[in-house]
Amino acid sequence: MNHNINRIVIVGGGTAGWLSAGIIAAEHRVAAESADHSFQLTLVESPDIPTIGVGEGTWPSMRSTLQKMGISETDFFRECSASFKQGTLFKGWRRGNDDSYCHPFSAPHGYTEINLAPHWQASRDQIGFADAVSPQSVLFADRQAPKQISTPEYAFNVNYGYHLDAGKFAEFLRKHCVEKLGVTHIKANVLGINSAENGDIASIDTDSHGTIEGNLFVDCSGQRSMLLGDHFGIPVLSKNTVLFNNTALAAQIPYDSDSDPIESCTLSTAQSAGWIWDIGLPTRRGIGHVYSSDHNTEDRASEELLSYIAKTVSKKAAAAATMRKVQFSPGHRAKFWHKNCVAIGMSAGFIEPLEASALVLVELSAGMIAEQLPANRDVMDLVAKRFNDKFLYRWDRIIEFLKLHYILSHRQDSAYWRDNHAPSSIPDNLRDLVELWRHQSPWHRDTVNADEMFPSASFQYVLYGMDFETQPSQTLRRSELTAQSQAQTLFRENAQRRAQLQSSMPTNRDLINKIHTYGFQKI
């Protein structure tokens, strides 16, 4: 009996399915059955169920993900309406007026050697934290790009991820997976699931392609979670007592002219009971309002969204806007890998897109499967346990990190913001961390794992962007004394680098036009 894990079946297309297929096939060569190392990767996609198209923002990790799959960054930009994302600009989160702060992708200058946060405290009234320690935020204002046309593909002057058209991205990945990576694509509806004696999924029955056998099934079927949820009954752990947002109204807004600037960060503007995302693609803006239906009515939420569109784009655009409503229950499955079935994407969990965690979780999940692919059924349960431990930990960290944005707010103007401060809504670990950070700034040893999703730099950007106060050290720290002059040098270097970037980086729009005309070089 052959116990080798050499037939993976992914159920569900969309970005989660195709991204997973690409990541696994980039690591494990798909080969014909007769070969010694027979490995097959099949993706079964329903021709009838439309993809939901979540996740239009990525983390910088997407660059290496695409590169590893052998994708040309030029092709990606041209075919996915992609643009550069360099971080997020949060507006109105502190007090609900004109306040704003940047959370750039680049780590603070000198981050591997020295913690600049205590040294910045002295000048916090003169300069924002991100401006003092990162060169990147200066590029947000004039919608400048993170690189030049002469910079090789995937390389950068300052760190970046992408904004993209999720529908086009799935299609682009499908083509690449099928044509270049040997993934088998089957368009069929799943009718039933057949169990093996040990309770594993042995095969799935389809309407047009008969029975498809496999020894590892990846559930990318979306919120429905056909395999892990429906078949195995793994429950969703609701997080709605921590994160209240459960409804989104999404609109696609055309530019007035095709020379309008394209934002180089995600704009996130706090509202009375949620926040509005604003994502600039070359072809359109994706603007949506994610809110708590317990704290807001759909009418009011839609009014707030239209008012935002009228103010930031135009009244004309607001009048022409059509909205699509998406409801979700914030939370994740109690586990993600059960027997020979693992869930990736919305089938694993869903949470408001405040930190664009959807696509990066797909990358991390598929990346771990690719790296740790169990050799045979006997060791699969060990890998599954590791996977579950890791991703339960990650979901907890994501939820805490998102919640941090709410509890640092000084807003008291609605029940939503007040409820967000209720102690019962704050996870214990997060409450402890915030208490600790009143006396010491986040630093490398705060984090438990080497591959944390949110390093201490992320916490610093949010805490100090939100005006959080860390008391000066009670003791005279030798490390800080000796680092004084080094810190001042780093601040100065950062200011120089800001000025240099500001004068040398093209606008997002210009660079994207050039990518379409000339393309990036590979070297």
The residues binding other proteins (CB under 8 A) are 148-151, 514, 517-523
Name the minimum Å distance from CB 147 to other proteins.
10
* Residue 17 C-alpha from the chain's centroid: 16
Nearer to other proteins, 376 or 518 (CB): 518
Token digits of residue 305: 């969204």
Which stretch of DSSP H or E encloses residue 253?
A: strand 247-254
Dump the DSSP string for 110-164. TTTT---HHHHGGGTTTS-HHHHH-STTHHHHTTB-SS-TTSPTT--SS--EEE-
Name the minimum Å distance from CB 518 to other proteins.
5
Evaluate whether 267 touches 89 at the Cβ level (below 8 Å). yes
Evaluate whether 226 touches 237 at the Cβ level (below 8 Å). no
Evaluate whether 111 touches 457 at the Cβ level (below 8 Å). yes
Name the minimum Å distance from CB 510 to other proteins.
10
**Nearest of 282, 278, 275 to residue 309 by alpha carbon:** 278
Nearer to other proteins, 83 or 441 (CB): 83
Name the minimum Å distance from CB 71 to other proteins.
17
End-to-end CA distance of the chain: 48
Question: What is d(CA 462, CA 137) in angstroms, rounded to the nearest whole number?
Answer: 14
Residue type, 304: E
Name the minimum Å distance from CB 517 to other proteins.
8
Evaluate whether 333 touches 236 at the Cβ level (below 8 Å). yes
Question: What is d(CA 235, CA 241) in angstroms, rounded to the nearest whole number?
Answer: 17
* Residue 168 C-alpha from the chain's centroid: 17
Name the minimum Å distance from CB 62 to other proteins.
21
Nearer to other proteins, 148 or 240 (CB): 148
Question: What is d(CA 188, CA 361) in angstroms, rounded to the nearest whole number?
Answer: 26
Nearer to other proteins, 1 or 523 (CB): 523
Token digits of residue 421: 């401060």
Nearer to other proteins, 223 or 513 (CB): 513
Name the minimum Å distance from CB 310 to other proteins.
38
**Nearest of 50, 13, 15, 23 to residue 373 by alpha carbon:** 23
Evaluate whether 253 touches 317 at the Cβ level (below 8 Å). yes
Nearer to other proteins, 316 or 522 (CB): 522
Name the minimum Å distance from CB 514 to other proteins.
7
Name the minimum Å distance from CB 521 to other proteins.
5
Name the minimum Å distance from CB 22 to other proteins.
23
Nearer to other proteins, 300 or 514 (CB): 514
Q: In what order do the strands lie in the sheet with 201-206?
A: 190-195, 201-206, 211-213
Nearer to other proteins, 180 or 185 (CB): 180
Token digits of residue 260: 């309008």
Nearer to other proteins, 56 or 153 (CB): 153
Nearer to other proteins, 167 or 519 (CB): 519
Question: What is d(CA 498, CA 505) in angstroms, rounded to the nearest whole number?
Answer: 10
Question: What is d(CA 258, CA 428) in angstroms, rounded to the nearest whole number?
Answer: 49
